[in-house]
Structures are given as C-alpha cells and as structure tokens.
Structure 1
Amino acid sequence: MLRAYKVEIKPTLEQKMKIDQSIGICRYLYNFYLGKNKELYQQFKDGLLDKQHSFMSANDFDKYINNEIKTLEEYQWINKCGSKARKKTICNAETAYKKFFKGESKFPRFKKKNKSDVKLYFPKNNKGDWKVYRHKIMIPSL
C-alpha cells in the first residue's frame, strides 16, 4: 500500500529567497516558451514559415536557452535555478501547448507573478538527495 504525506516546510529567510527566485525563473521560462511558440505559429499563419518550423519542442527550446540565451550577459540570472527545474517547466509548457492543439484544453495562458500557480521541481538524482528524519526533511538544493 502506498502512502502520501503532506508536509509543511518552514524555510529560513535565505531559503525563502532562493525558492522565490527559482519560482520566478521557472515562470519566466514558461512564459518565454509560450511567447516563442506563439510567435512561430503566427509566422506560420502569415506564410513566413512552413509547418515543420511552426513549433519549437521542449528539447529544442532547452538547447536554445543553453546555447544562445544563457551565454548573453543580461540572462546570467537564469543559471541560478536548477537545470532539472528549468527542464520540467519547459516540458509542462510544451504539454499545455500540445493539449491546446489536440483540443483538450484552452490556449495556455501566461503566468502572472501573484495570480498564477507556478510549480517548482527539486532535483532528485541520488538516494542521498532527500533525507527524511523523524520530523525533518533535508532538501540539499536549498
């Protein structure tokens, strides 16, 4: 039998700032991905692009971010968020975009700072990443 536990964390002020910063970066990347694909689709509708180039996948966008955007000086702040959190955010945006074209949902909306539910994923690579003690949970990335 599987069990789930709902846990309230009480981060320090420094950890709260790190969490807020990571959520902000993820929200920015989500909106940037939607904006980029909306722009590509509009160019396709105007006849400037063929159907093959009217959509940028999550992997292509991640390569675009890593190779072109993060190397620019004004976008160095994107590196302050974990790579797996960035990747999962882009995958969520791609899923929302694909659901729209399948007719399963409305067009994905841009996330606003105080009005949207933005998810943040913490990396879980090794067994030692998350340590659960009797009444404490240790999160290494914070």
Structure 2
Amino acid sequence: MKLNYRFEIYPTEEQQHTLERWISICRQQYNSALLDKQRYYKQNKKDLTRYELQNQQKLDKKIYHFLKEVPSQPLQEVFARLEKAYKKFFKKDAGYPKMKSFKEYRSITLTQFGMFKYKKKDGSLGTSRRMCSLTKGGKLLISKLGAIDIKWYRK
C-alpha cells in the first residue's frame, strides 16, 4: 500500500531561497533534457532514455558545479517527469512536451523518505536518514536544506 503525505511547509527566508534555486535548476534541467532528446532524435532517429540522460547528468555535474547544489533525487525525477510527458503524448493523452517557464514548473519531487537501519562492520546496528525524514519535534528534515516547519493536511 502506498501512502502520500500532504503538508504545507513554512521555510525560513534562506530555506525558501534555496528551494526556489533548486526548482529553477530542475526547470533548467527539464528544458535542457527536452532539447537534448529532440536533437538526438533528429540526428539518430532514436530516443534518449531516462537512464542515458541521468548518465549524462553525472558528467555535467563535473562541468556545471551548480548542479551539485541540488540533491540527486529531485534532479533524477526531472527525467522521470519528462519521460511521463512523452508517454502521455504518445498515448494521445496530452500535447507534445514543451519548454517550461517559471510559472509552469513550480515543484520538485523528493522520493526518499524516512530512515533505515543497517548493520555496521562491528556488528552493531546503525540508523541513517534518507533524503527526507521527520524530526522528533515534528519538523521535516531535508538533506542539504535542514529542518522545516510543516502543517499536516493528510497522513
């Protein structure tokens, strides 16, 4: 059974600036990937897969250091979003994917939530946080961003 958590966040000014930067970088990646797919298809008559785009992104991170500001999960979800847009287009459920403006790309997806336990080399148990988790104080803790106040709408 899958659960969706819905909540409203109340970030500090600095956190809000960081989130807006992440969204902007993800939007740029979406538009860039869309252009890459179009160019590749015109030249090779083959499609670039999501995984080929992710491999290219690894190389891009070495050149474009601003990509390292954003955690890897939201950047990878950009390609999933683009793949979904193409699938909808080919099923005739939607129009051809287009470039996104600031107004059209206003969210990111954080896929890994919670904590997990693992066995250390010495045999003891350790815990590790994933991309997102909840603090004991009920705040949302996001990697590279910190703890954010939240208000739950549905659990």
Range of TM-score over shorter length:
0.7 to 0.9
What's the offset of the Cα at 1:123? 4.7
Moved more, 123-132 or 22-31: 123-132
Maintained 8 Å contact 1:111/1:118: no
Q: Tell me the residue number matched to 1:76.
A: 65
Identity among equivalent pairs (%): 26
Q: Please tell me whether the aligned partners of residues 41 and 48 of structure 2 are also in contact (alpha carbons under 8 angstroms).
A: no
**Partner-residue secondary structure (3-state), 2:62:** coil
CA-to-partner distance for each residue in 1:48-87, whole Å, 9 max, x for gaps? x2x4xx21111000101102x2222xx1101100101111
Are residues 3 and 31 of structure 1, via their aligned partners in 2, closer, same or farther at CA, if it must alter by over 3 Å? closer
Higher relative contact order (Cα pairs below 8 Å, separated by 6+ residues): 2
Structure 2 unaligned runs (5+)?
116-128, 146-155
1:138 aligns with 2:140: yes
Amino acid at match of 2:94: S
- For these two proteins, the number of residue pairs brought into alignment is 128
The corresponding residue for 2:101 is 112
Instruction: Tell me the residue number matched to 2:34.
Output: 34
SS of 1:99's partner is: helix
1:94 aligned onto 2:56: no
The alignment's TM-score, normalised by the length of structure 2, stands at 0.71
Matches of 1:3 and 1:133 in 2, distance apart? 20
Q: Give structure 1 stretches of 5+ with no counterpart.
A: 44-48
Q: Using the alignment, how far apart are the partners of 2:30 and 2:93 within structure 1? A: 19
Q: Which has the higher helix share?
A: 1
1:118 and 1:84 map into 2 onto residues whose CA distance is 16
- Note closer, same or farther for the CA distance 1:4–1:95 as it changes in structure 2 (3 Å cut): closer
Work out whether residues 114 and 134 of structure 2, in 8 Å CA contact, stay in contact via their aligned partners in 1.
Answer: no
Q: Report the CA distance shift for 1:107/1:11 in structure 2 as closer, same or farther (over 3 A).
A: same
- Which amino acid counterpart does residue 62 of structure 2 have in structure 1? T
8 Å contact kept, 1:85–1:121: yes
TM-score by length of 1: 0.77
CA distance in 2, matches of 1:130, 1:93: 26
